[in-house]
Amino acid sequence: MWALQEFLSLPDLLEEATNYIKKLQIDLERMGQRKESLTACVNSNSKSSSTGRKERLPLPHIEIHRFDSALEVVLITGLDYQFMFNNIIRILHEEGADIVKVQVIASLVRPPSILYTQRWEASAMSSRYGAAARISEKLKQFVGAAAS
């Protein structure tokens, strides 16, 4: 790159430097706006917890899909329902399901709300008749009880 700059005229170098500085200014403005939005989220979270009031997050939502003896469990929660992760794993283990895969995705929906999408793939023990249906019912009862 230095070799190419030797052949550029002074006006070309100045124009290149000006464009680079403008790009940096735009990037700096974007980062400043992002910082402001993030600090606003943090401030609103600390205010709501210090006053004892919290915004009501959407109730947890659970979807259970059965494929032969396998289950796919999708749980969508907010920050207030993070405890559900361990409890769902416990329920799956109690019922003899082998957890094949767990995926957790956090996404900022609207400040200060964060949605967690938790996805489990489990294979129910084939020797236990009706294991998938029993697991589905227990998970739905647990999520319903936690939501109320």
Q: Taking Cα atoms as reference points, which of 116, 117, 115, 139 lies closest to residue 66?
A: 139
Answer yes or no: are the C-beta atoms of 100 and 122 closer than 8 Å.
yes
SS3 of residue 112 by DSSP: coil
- Check residue 101 and give its pLDDT: 81
Which residues are within 8 A (CB) of 13 and not within 5 positions of it... i.e. 6 or more apart?
Answer: 5
Give the global pTM. 0.50
Rounded distance, CA 113 to CA 80, Å?
Answer: 10
- Write the burial class of residue 143 (CB in 10 Å: 0-12 exposed, 13-18 middle, 19+ buried): buried
- Check residue 22 and give its pLDDT: 92
Phi, psi of 51 (to 5 degrees): -90, -5
Rounded distance, CA 81 to CA 60, Å?
Answer: 7
Rounded distance, CA 94 to CA 79, Å?
Answer: 25
Residue 139 has a CB neighbour count (10 Å cut-off) of: 22
- Check residue 38 and give its pLDDT: 66
Answer yes or no: are the C-beta atoms of 30 and 23 closer than 8 Å.
no
Q: Which residue ranges of the chain lie beneath pLDDT 50?
A: 1, 5, 45-46, 49-57, 126
- Check residue 96 and give its pLDDT: 81
Residue 84 has a CB neighbour count (10 Å cut-off) of: 21
SS3 of residue 18 by DSSP: helix
- Check residue 88 and give its pLDDT: 84
- Check residue 3 and give its pLDDT: 52
